[in-house]
Structure 1
Amino acid sequence: MHNKSEQISELTQLNEDLENYFANTIIPQLFVDAQLTLRKFTPPAMKQFTLKNEYIGKPMEEIKENFRYPTIIENIKNVIATGKILEKEIQTIDMRWFQMNILPYIIRKENRTDGVIITFVDITSRIRDLKEQERMLAENELLLDTIAHDIKNPIHALGLTVQMIKKLTEGNMENFPFLMDSLEVSLLDMKKVVEDLVDSHWQRQRYQAAEELLDFQSILEDVRLTLSHQVLETGAVITHNINVPEITFVRRKLRSVLYNLLSNAIKYTPSERSPEINVCTEECNGYIVISVSDNGIGMSAEEQQLIFKKFQRLKTDTEGSGVGLYLVNTIVSSAGGKIEIESETGSGSVFRVYFKIDYEGDRKP
């Protein structure tokens, strides 16, 4: 009898924990059982997919149109049948992009899948950035092709003129002024091609990313999902303490800063222990400070002087090109910020990234 009471108490507590989790998470999530019935959803999911409380307990077949993604039921069935995580980028019929993760909900004592938990992260802005970068690369290639094409004629003329000058003799210099004029014309033509293309096309099409007011925790969740494979493989635990919830910055640049710092924290933790990473935000002396601390291998004072140099890697037995921290430093420095490091060999590291607060903008002290 006593054991039964304890079991009921334990189940009540677990249910309470689950209710609290679903009520407080900031990302859209669904819990669908093995009979394809919607059991729970988070408040962001209610907002994102226009869900109502009365939908709880209904078959997904009846409400699938809310998710505007035609194969969601087939995807759920596949995860329940295989017990394997499904991760994919999807586009809904309202033209928004999401990273959808479907995770099996496993009853471990019975070793069976009793449903799925589905997470949606809006990556529309990320996809837009990628498409813009693809467009920019395509335009760069077109620009180079155009330059190569348009500059052929003056280069060819220049080569012919040089050959003719070489054939001149001391007694046959009457054509020299004409040939020099031809050289000058060819050089001017080359200069005009480059200036016209670069000034009128390249500068006009140059990509400029705009700053916006960002929810820091949403960016962190986005990065965490991007690193989900590394987190799963290493057993990494990422915690956070968000004291400043919003920051005005370029979305893709802030994501890049966080991604590189978290990725390195996971990568440079000894294999015999799981990475433990904490991300904190606070305001300090006119800066928003993002701190990323880890329990990794740490660095000596000499190594700390090298890590922000391009192509510089402290360890050669890990993947990477040595560009990540160089990129982070470039992004932060260009925005008027700075980076500080606190680290000792074998004792982990703390990276503090300082973003200068613009008191003339939306954020006021």
Structure 2
Amino acid sequence: MRIKEKSLETEHAGGIKNAFLHNMNHEIRTPLNSIVGFMQLLDTDITTEEHDLFVGIIHQNTELLVHMIDNMLLMASLECGEYLTSPIEFDVSSLMHDLTESLQGYIHAGVELKVNVHEPQYVCLDLNSLRRVLKGLIINADKFTPTGTITVDYNIDGDILNVSVTDTGIGIAAEDQKKIFGKFEKLDQFSQGLGLGLPICKSIVEKLGGRIGVESEPGCGSTFRFSVTTIS
């Protein structure tokens, strides 16, 4: 039985490695090719409008590449136990408001990002971790919400902070809801990224001693919820 378990573990690890290499090959080459191609075009006889357009494309793809590399490094630090947290006391209401305001520029046209406003509520948590999870869930919601709203809500129940991110997007089939927190899993193979956004959110939440899950139905949007324990 032990040999069989080891064999399954090896097979699973091999599958993850293959998925990683496949995603890396496609996702990283795509922005790199754009950056190199449009940089070469800058040296040709082009108009001012074309120059500005090409510089914008280079900038956009550079940001995408940096984001993917940051996610790979962050996932590695979580897996090898080097991810550090530093709990501080802060007003979660201000965090939610400031974060949603700062992300407005990332949300595409036709989608409204909003947060349900509550009275000031103080918690003691790692601020950067909470911000990373929220940003990851909001950006993920925006990917799959063509039009409508993304709503952030939260409450504190004793020493538990409960947070939800609800969208009016395309939703997730029941059989796929079990996959989305797995590394390199992409339900839409045409979407940008390595498939690490939700796994990183899950790993960070668990690092904080909490749990995360999703409720969804195809065509009816999705709600991602997570709960973490605050420190007294």
Q: Distance in 2 between matches of 1:341 and 1:245?
A: 25
- Taking structure 1 as reference, are residues 207 and 279 closer, same or farther at Cα in structure 2, changes over 3 Å only? closer
**Retained in 1: the 8 A contact 2:170–2:220?**
yes
Q: CA deviation at 1:249?
A: 1.4
Separation in structure 2 between the aligned mates of residue 262 and residue 303 of structure 1, nearest angstrom: 19
The structural deviation recorded for 1:207 is 7.3
Q: Secondary structure at the match of 2:106?
A: helix
Residues 341 and 312 (structure 1), Cα distance of their counterparts in 2 relative to 1, 3 Å cut: same
TM-score normalised by L of structure 2: 0.59
- Structure-2 separation of matches of 1:247 and 1:312: 33
Structure 2 residue identity aligned to 1:220: M
**Cα 1:220/1:285, change in 2 over 3 Å:** closer
Equivalent residue number for residue 227 of structure 1: 103
The alpha-carbon distance between structure 1 residues 209 and 286, as it changes in their structure 2 partners (threshold 3 A), is closer
Distance in 2 between residues matched to 1:254 and 1:305, nearest whole Å: 23
The yes-or-no answer on 1:356 pairing with 2:229 is yes
Q: Which structure 1 segments of 5+ residues have no match? A: 1-132, 134-205
Partner of 2:185: 312
Residues 229 and 283 (structure 1), Cα distance of their counterparts in 2 relative to 1, 3 Å cut: closer
Q: Secondary structure at the match of 1:263?
A: helix
Is 1:242 the counterpart of 2:112? The answer is no
Question: Secondary structure, in 3 states, of the residue corresponding to 1:302?
Answer: helix
Whether the 8 Å contact between 2:89 and 2:124 is mirrored in structure 1 is yes
Q: CA deviation at 1:279?
A: 1.2
Q: Distance in 2 between matches of 1:281 and 1:343?
A: 18
Larger radius of gyration between Structure 1 and Structure 2: 1
**Could you say what secondary structure the match of 1:321 adopts?**
coil
| 2-structure distance, mates of 1:336, 1:230 | 29
Looking at structure 2, the residues matched to 225 and 281 of structure 1 have their Cα atoms a distance apart, in angstroms, of 16
1:212 correspondence with 2:91 = no
CA separation of 1:246 and 1:319: change in aligned 2, threshold 3 A: farther
CA offsets 1:235-260 (integer angstroms, 9 cap, x no match): 42323243672322112111100001
Does the residue aligned with 1:236 lie in a helix, a strand or coil? Answer: strand
Structure 2 Cα separation of the partners of residues 226 and 324 of structure 1: 19
Q: Which structure carries more relative contact order (alpha carbon 8 Å, separation 6+)?
A: 2
Letter in 2 for 1:246: Y
The 1-side partners of 2:91 and 2:183 are apart by 30
- Aligned-partner SS, 2:153: strand
Distance 2:83 2:181 in 1: 25
User: 1 CA distance for matches of 2:109 and 2:204?
Assistant: 29
- Residues 289, 243 of structure 1: CA spacing in aligned structure 2 closer, same or farther, 3 A cutoff? farther
2:137 equivalent to 1:264: no
Question: 1 CA distance for matches of 2:208 and 2:156?
Answer: 17
Amino acid in the other structure paired with 2:191: T
The answer (yes or no) to whether the contact 1:215–1:245 under 8 Å persists in 2 is yes
The aligned residue for residue 329 of structure 1 is: 202
**Residue number among 174, 179, 184 corresponding to 1:301 in the alignment:** 174
Q: Given that residues 299 and 344 in structure 1 are in contact (C-alpha distance below 8 angstroms), is that contact kept between their aligned partners in structure 2? A: yes
- Of all paired residues, the percent bearing the same amino acid is 32
Structure-2 change in CA distance of 1:357 and 1:230 (3 Å): closer
For the residues of structure 1 that align with 2:133 and 2:111, how far apart are their CA atoms?
22
290, 304, 311: which one aligns with 2:163: 290
Instruction: For 1:343 and 1:207, locate their aligned partners in 2 and report how far apart those are by CA, in whole Å.
Output: 30
Once superposed, what is the RMSD of the aligned Cα atoms? Answer: 2.8
1:287 CA displacement: 2.0
Contact 2:213-2:226 within 8 A present in 1 as well: yes
Kindly tell me: are residues 332 and 207 of structure 1, through their superposed partners in 2, closer, same or farther at Cα, counting changes over 3 Å? closer
Give secondary structure in 2 for the equivalent of 1:340. Answer: strand
Task: After superposition, give the CA deviation of every residue in 1:126-182 in whole Å (9 maximum; x if it has no partner).
Answer: xxxxxxx9xxxxxxxxxxxxxxxxxxxxxxxxxxxxxxxxxxxxxxxxxxxxxxxxx
Question: How many pairs align?
Answer: 155
CA separation of 1:233/1:333 partners in 2, compared to 1, >3 Å: closer, same or farther? same
Could you tell me how far 1:277 is from its partner in structure 2? 1.6
Worse-superposed segment, 281-290 or 325-334? 281-290
Alignment TM-score, normalising by the size of structure 1: 0.38
